[in-house]
């Protein structure tokens, strides 16, 4: 099974450990993983700001890097959703369409494609789970409190396989953290207030870590946690699933 590893730009630059954990985890699970060396960004920052028309170059580069894989996997629900919904390349329509249907967020790839039943990981900590909106409401990684449907969660299904972990859900289980791409700077006040409110619920649960499938939400909450000298740390789900503590 040939898997193309997509490490979104800001993870590549600021959170290499998330990329490393994702790669090691996929290899442990028997995937033949390649990391196309000329990848950059999915184009979401521009598109969500209203500049989807500037995404031609990004899209073309993405298609050049990721054509021909059985699957493309990324440790980010948000970037995967963007590619699924918006990737296009007029010179290479077929390839773009194929990428859109073959791209997976890491946890759904593990539960739906690899059908992982157990993971040799241990993480003896109290962990708060953050449902990131694009993963949850966009990719349907879990059921949502608004809709009337059976409850499930692909990321929690995986985290529950980890030895020693104690998972705590915040009171409002699927409220947005306020990152929202460029929203986090253009609507700074609301963005930070939303983040603080999410953190307060994890504080109340006295967790050691906040985890989730999107590094962007975690980066935003990490920024607030550090500023307020909160002892909670953030960690991506791949790093927990790849842990041997």
Partner 1 sequence: MKDHASLAQEFITDEPRTDWHDETLWFVRQKRDKAAHGLPEWEQLREWASGIKDHTLSNLNTYLTQFEAQAKANGIQVHWAFDGEEHNRIIYDIIRKNNIERIVKSKSMLTEECHLNHFLQSNGIEIVDTDLGERIVQFRDEAPSHIVLPAIHLKKQDVSETFHKHLNTEKGNNDPQYLTEAARIHLRDKFVASQLAITGVNFAIAETGGFVVCTNEGNADMGAHAAPIHIACMGFEKIIPKAEHLSVFLRLLARSATGQPITTYSSHFHRPRPGQEMHIVIVDNGRSKQLGRKDFRNSLKCIRCAACFNTCPVYRRSGGHSYHTAVAGPIGSILNPNLDMKANADLPFASTLCGSCSNVCPVKIDIHEQLWKWRQVIVAEGYSPKAKTISMKIMSMVLARPAVYRFSGMMARKMMRLVPGLFKNKLNPWYKQREMPEAPKDSFREWYLKNKK
Instruction: Verify binding: residue 11, partner 1, rule CB under 8 A.
Output: yes
Dist. CA 66–CA 160, nearest whole Å: 32
Residue 187 makes contact with partner 1 by CB under 8 A: yes
CB of 20 to partner 1, least distance (A): 6
By CB under 8 A, what part of segment 113-142 binds partner 1? 133-134, 137-138
Q: Is 76 in the site for partner 1 (CB under 8 A)?
A: no
List 142's β-bridge partners, or say none: 153
Please report whether residue 32 would count as binding partner 1 according to CB under 8 A: no
Q: Which pair of tokens denotes residue 131?
A: 């449902």
3-state secondary structure at position 159: helix
Question: Does the footprint of partner 1 cover residue 13 (CB under 8 A)?
Answer: yes
Q: Does 230 bind partner 1 (CB under 8 A)?
A: no
Kindly state the smallest distance separating residue 221's Cβ from partner 1, in Å: 9
The residue range among 91-99, 111-119, 175-183, 235-243 that interacts with partner 1, by the rule CB under 8 A, is 175-183
Radius of gyration, alpha carbons of the chain: 17
The minimum distance between CB 8 and partner 1, in angstroms, equals 10
Angstrom distance (rounded) from CA 187 to CA 113: 38
Q: Interface with partner 1 includes 46 (CB under 8 A)?
A: yes
Which CB, 188 or 206, lies closer to partner 1?
Answer: 188
| Alpha carbon 112 to chain centroid, angstroms | 16
- Of 7-15, 87-95, 97-105, 115-123, the window that binds partner 1 (rule: CB under 8 A) is 7-15
CB of 161 to partner 1, least distance (A): 25
Dihedral sign (CA 216, 221, 222, 224) = positive
Q: Give the up-direction half-sphere exposure of residue 32: CA atoms within 13 A in the CB hemisphere.
A: 4
Q: Would you count residue 29 as binding partner 1 (CB under 8 A)? A: no
Phi/psi class of residue 8: alpha, beta or left (left: φ > 0; alpha: ψ in -120 to 50)? beta
138 CA to centre of own chain: 12
Please give the size of the binding site for partner 1, defined by CB under 8 A.
Answer: 74
Interatomic CA distance for residues 174 and 18, integer angstroms: 23
Considering the rule CB under 8 A, would residue 143 count as an interface residue with partner 1? no
Which of 66, 104, 129, 179 touches partner 1 (CB under 8 A)?
Answer: 179
What DSSP designation does 153 have?
B
Near partner 1 by CB under 8 A: residue from 60, 100, 126, 233: 60
Q: Which of 196, 198, 195, 219 is nearest to 128 (CA)?
A: 198
């Amino acid at each position: 099974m040939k898997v193309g590893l997509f490490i979104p730009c800001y993870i590549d630059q600021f959170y290499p450990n998330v990329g490393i954990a994702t790669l090691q985890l996929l290899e442990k699970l028997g995937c033949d993983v390649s990391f196309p060396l000329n990848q950059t960004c999915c184009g979401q920052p521009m598109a969500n700001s209203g500049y989807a028309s500037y995404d031609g170059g990004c899209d073309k580069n993405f298609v050049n890097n990721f054509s021909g894989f059985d699957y493309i996997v990324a440790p980010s629900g948000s970037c995967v959703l963007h590619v699924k919904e918006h990737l296009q390349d007029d010179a290479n329509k077929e390839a773009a369409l194929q990428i859109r249907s073959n791209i997976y967020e890491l946890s759904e790839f593990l539960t739906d494609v690899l059908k992982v039943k157990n993971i040799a990981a241990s993480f003896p900590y109290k962990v708060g789970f953050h449902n990131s909106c694009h993963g949850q409401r966009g990719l349907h990684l879990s059921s949502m409190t608004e809709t009337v449907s059976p409850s499930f969660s692909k990321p929690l299904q995986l985290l529950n396989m980890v030895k020693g972990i104690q998972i705590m859900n915040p009171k409002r289980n699927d409220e947005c953290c306020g990152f929202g791409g460029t929203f986090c700077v253009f609507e700074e006040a609301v963005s930070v207030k939303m983040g603080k409110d999410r953190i307060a619920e994890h504080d109340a649960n006295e967790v050691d870590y906040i985890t989730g499938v999107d590094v962007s939400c975690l980066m935003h909450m990490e920024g607030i946690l550090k500023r307020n000298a909160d002892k909670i740390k953030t960690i991506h789900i791949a790093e927990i699933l790849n842990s041997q503590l």
